[in-house]
Amino acid sequence: MILHRSLGPIDTTAVGLGEMPLTLEDNLGKDTGIDTIHAALDAGCRHIDTAWAYYCSGGEEQTGEKLVRAALETWKGPRDEITVATKVGHFRNFTNGVPTWDVDGRPERLIHDAKQSAQALGVDSIDLLYFHRPDPKVPYAESIEAIRQLLDAGVARTAGISNASIEQIDIARSILGNRLIAVQNQYSPVYRDSADTLAYTARLGLAFVCWSPLGGYRKVKDEHRFDAFRDVAAELGVSYQQVVLAWELSLGEHVFVIPGAHRPATILDSLKAGQLELSETQLSRLGD
């Protein structure tokens, strides 16, 4: 039985599918994208993470959300079991000809984009809407106020914040109350700077969703940080990625992981992490 956890009021799988690689620059095309989402859902995954900004710089916007919709509309399983989370506040750009990410946290832009997200996803109300990343040009409370208005208007049912500090979590909670259900921050063996928010969300009863849980596009010099995970994986006869995800899930009942995948095989392997039991001795070798 695949591991389920409570994401606020939503019962869903602890391992979700991070949609981003399916629609960024190095994606393998729409058919593989749909196959990957279908494979994840067929294997029991019930949580998909996407964003308004998951598209190629300079190309059609919102292709990530549109891909999720196309996959769900052609999937034969129970659509109502699937939680789709999306995010607003980012858009793609270029810097010196290289694809990049920019932020726009102005309330009017967030409200506009969230309505577009609901439309692209083909839903009346978004299951979980995150404010993607703080915009240094806009006071945080003003951006969060826009998320509150979107909840009040029914554009989204629950809210999350991403790339948030403890101070920003407090601001968001003061404005959104218990409609704030999740904090999505980067967390992996190569990035533990957000450990303070992982602990803080546990105390508050909020979900903590690890983004780039496998290290994302990491640098070659980071590889040694996976040595202990590879050793434990070799003993258990599983991939080290499963061990990484299982270790993250062991950090608290409030923790979720959303590994990305370009192809069915990788998400199918990652989904097994929810059932992987690591002993106390193995966990102690992996660090806190």
Ligand X SMILES: NC(=O)c1ccc[n+]([C@@H]2O[C@H](COP(=O)([O-])OP(=O)(O)OC[C@H]3O[C@@H](n4cnc5c(N)ncnc54)[C@H](OP(=O)(O)O)[C@@H]3O)[C@@H](O)[C@H]2O)c1
Alpha-carbon distance of 3 to 78, in angstroms, equals 18
Where are any strands of DSSP class E within the chain? Answer: 4-7, 10-13, 17-18, 47-49, 83-88, 90-95, 98-103, 126-131, 156-162, 180-186, 207-211, 255-257
We find the least distance from the C-beta atom of residue 244 to ligand X, in angstroms, to be 9
Q: Which is nearer to ligand X, 101 or 153 (CB)?
A: 101
State both tokens at 206: 């909020």
The residue of the chain with the least Cβ separation from ligand X equals 260
Q: Which is nearer to ligand X, 175 or 233 (CB)?
A: 233
We find the least distance from the C-beta atom of residue 259 to ligand X, in angstroms, to be 4
We find the least distance from the C-beta atom of residue 266 to ligand X, in angstroms, to be 4
Classify burial at 230, counting beta carbons within 10 Å of its beta carbon; exposed 0-12, middle 13-18, buried 19 or more: middle
Q: Which is nearer to ligand X, 44 or 216 (CB)?
A: 216
From residue 95, alpha-carbon distances to 99, 132, 135, 138 in Å are 7, 20, 18, 22
We find the least distance from the C-beta atom of residue 149 to ligand X, in angstroms, to be 22
Q: Which is nearer to ligand X, 8 or 260 (CB)?
A: 260
Q: Which is nearer to ligand X, 87 or 153 (CB)?
A: 87
Q: Is 11 strand, coil or helix?
A: strand
> Rule CB under 6 A: which residues touch ligand X?
18-21, 49, 132-133, 162-163, 184, 211-216, 239, 241, 258-263, 266, 269-270
We find the least distance from the C-beta atom of residue 30 to ligand X, in angstroms, to be 16
Binning the chain into helix, strand and coil, the percentages to the nearest 5 are: 45, 20, 35
